[in-house]
Amino acid sequence: MSTIGAYFRLARVGWVLVREGVVSALPSDGLPAMVGVAKSAAGLLTRKRAKREERSDRLARAVERLGPSYVKIGQFLATRPDVVGADFAEDLSGLQDRMAFFPTDAARASIRESLGRSVDDLYVSFGEPIAAASIAQVHPAEVETTEGRRKVAVKVIRPGVRRRFAADLEAMYLVSHLQERFLPHTRRLKPVEVTKTLEQTTKVEMDLRLEAAALSEIAENTRNDPGFRVPEVDWERTGRDVVTMEWIDGIKMSDVEALKAAGHDLDQLADTLIQSFLRHTLRDGFFHADMHPGNLFVAPDGMIVAVDMGIAGRLGKKERRFLAEILYGFITRDYLRVAEVHFEAGYVPSHHNVASFAQAIRAIGEPIHGQPAETISMGKLLTLLFEVTELFDMATRPELVMLQKTMVVVEGVARMLNPRFNMWKASDPVVSGWIRDNLGPKRIATDLKDGMKAAFRLAEAVPEIAAKTEKFHAEIMQMSENGLRFDAETADAIGKAEARHSRSGRLALWIIAFALVAIAIQIG
């Protein structure tokens, strides 16, 4: 029955997209003629107001009508231009995660249920909400400490959001499965895996203990970094549905005029921001993946403070080396090495020609070297790179796409602070230092050390591997002699499952057919 519900939810999504003019605004170049006919039909059902709006406004209005979970889905898809296209990713990136407040009494009840203590026991004062998003809202509060009263920010999960998101996610899975089945050329983008990534990242974001853990981890990583920090977590008042953290008194990085009035050095802030992001990415392999200007504050002492760690990205050692070697290869114009890195990492299938791929890489790199350094965008470079890799069957790498999207955002914030921001000059101390330590002689020593550790772990596991191999061999020999058999209970269960699946599928089709007839009658 959940599949039937997914079909109906999907029908509702389609209807809202049609009514708000999103479907009629979709590009149809190169698609079958029937697509144009469908767009024309959708245009007849579009609201008159929507026809006068820009496509991004139509999309924002449609997502707003669909509800909070679709805001989150839209924001996630904005990080995947490889899936939805660059234009729609840009439209989705403008979605505002500002929702109506839910009652303070509901927030108090969530805190009691999550922490097992009342709000009055936990906080000296607890104020009305000051900000609300699709997943949670924030309340100002005060706590009593040994040093006196201290102001804190309390983030509380929106009631019912998990149940609503789980239901909407079923429709997303349905779309991704249909896409893989009927649009074979899109399988390279792994739509089902994209949906799984969305499910996982949102589950993490909805468990505020994990956001607190991310804040704690990045605080440890950046303890000695200049000019950057994150809020301190109050673990005593943190649970699955609530996180309490240090209150940040500062100026939002989006308020450039206020930063100037406060006497902050905007050029220095831009350099510090990009260098901090690259340290987190290359050195730590763990970065804040939602660093838009609304999540960045500048404290009175000039320190950048990043908040809202609900979305974070991780890069393994291989991915970090891949990124560094690519950037270094473009800087030195060693396009063959950039191509070789893609093949060594296994990102481009081995049946392609390395030299041909290097030729495509050159087409990206050479125009860049003819531009002033301050106009070259590292994020744009990676975007062009991913577009070229599509021609060579490079499978989607979610962690690299998230990195690319975050880099575009961070670089945009830096250029907002300093319009003549030179990305390469600012990043050189971090990137060069990492390359020197990890792609030179130190890399060999590190690889040998890691290899020795792996060899010791393998040696410890050899007895268990041998025992499992012997057991598996015995089972194979038994099957070869006696054949593969099912007991009566297993065969009966398989038969019932097939029959149930067939009945539910037919029932779903009939219900959908009746629903479509009803809609047609209403429209007529």
Q: Catalytic residues, which ones?
A: 290
In angstroms, the CA 44 to CA 18 distance is 9
Name residues whose C-beta falls within 8 Å of residue 131's C-beta, 6 or more positions apart in sequence: 98, 137, 138
DSSP-H helix ranges across 345-440 = 354-369, 378-389, 398-417, 423-438
Specify whether the CB–CB gap between 459 and 465 falls below 8 A. Answer: no
- What sign results for the dihedral spanned by CA atoms 32, 34, 40, 42? negative
Q: For residues 292 and 413, is the Cβ–Cβ distance under 8 A? A: yes
Query: Is 10:174 a contact under the CB 8 Å cutoff?
Result: yes
**Which amino acid, one-letter code, is at 152?**
V
Planar angle of CA 65, 71, 73, nearest 5 degrees? 125
150 burial via Cβ count (<10 Å: 0-12, 13-18, 19+)? middle
Quickly count: other Cβ atoms within 10 Å of residue 318's Cβ: 12
Query: Cα–Cα distance between 298 and 251 in angstroms, integer?
Result: 5
Residues 270, 414 contacting (CB under 8 angstroms): yes
What's the CA gap between 367 and 470, in Å, rounded? 59
Query: What SS3 class is residue 345?
Result: coil
Number of other residues whose CB lies within 10 A of the CB of residue 4: 15
- Which residues, at least 6 apart from 461, have a Cβ–Cβ distance to it below 8 Å? none
Bridge pairing between strands 228-229 and 304-306? parallel
Instruction: Please give the Cα distance from 402 to 423 (Å, whole number).
Output: 19
Q: Tokens at residue 368, please?
A: 């860049």
Name the phi and psi angles at 143, rounded to 5: -125, 155
Residue with tokens 């970065």: 287
In sequence order, the 6+-apart residues with CB closer than 8 A to the CB of 92 are 59, 74, 75, 77, 78, 84
